[in-house]
Amino acid sequence: MMAISRGFHSKRRSDVDPARVPPGQYVTSGFPVLSAGPTPKITLADWTFTIRGAVGSPRTWTWDQVLALPGEAITVDIHCVTKWSKLDTRWHGVSLDTLLAGVHPRGEHAVAFSEGGYTTNLPLADLTGGKAWLVHGYDGAPLAPEHGGPVRLLVPHLYFWKSAKWVQGLELLDEDRPGFWEHYGYHNYGDPWREQRYAGD
């Protein structure tokens, strides 16, 4: 069951360019917290990120190794399937292009897996070309646990459930495999601009 924070009902903004807002969405000034389960307690010394599966060279990074990779600031709009959007969110992290470059991907699909068993599926093409990041900072501070810290996936061009919280890695696959919410009827791809919220949309 999805856990929703008491701050979920945040103030709607009306001072934005409607062209930036996908159909069926409203803009909020807050940052609602929604999760498929409770917020886990993660020790940085034990955290790792792994890319495995259909790759030439599987690889695992520790927390310190991820921090040592070339980082970048990212400012993007995000859109949740529950109809809120938040504009100009500011993140800091590592491009997935950087991580994938050294593993020699062979599969065309990926499943992100997280602490607690959460998964979500994405085409590999949506994780490359400057479209996705492994982020550990938000708004100038370390990423808070309730928002997926220490590290979450950021794939802002898709609905936000695809940006897996508490992410531990990617498994690359030759064929697509639905993740947690996709298994329960959410759309397999999740494009906000096409309102792909649920299977059949």
pLDDT at 156: 98
Rounded to 10 degrees, the C-alpha dihedral 74/114/66/145 comes to: 70
Q: Is residue 199 part of a domain?
A: no
Q: What H or E segment, with its residue span, contains residue 181?
A: helix 180-183
Whether the pLDDT of residue 16 is over 70: the answer is: yes
* Domain ranges, residue 89: 48-194
Q: Is residue 10 part of a domain?
A: no
Which pLDDT tens digit goes with each residue over 110-167? 999 999 999 999 999 999 999 999 999 999 999 999 999 999 999 999 999 999 999 9
Whether the pLDDT of residue 31 is over 60: the answer is: yes
- Cα 116-120-125 angle, rounded to 5 deg: 140
The model's pTM: 0.91
Whether the pLDDT of residue 12 is over 80: the answer is: no
CATH code assigned at 151:
3.90.420.10
- DSSP designation for 184: T
Q: What's the token pair of residue 82?
A: 């529950």
Q: Is residue 200 part of a domain?
A: no
Decide which of 115 and 8 is more confident.
115
Total structural domains within the chain: 1
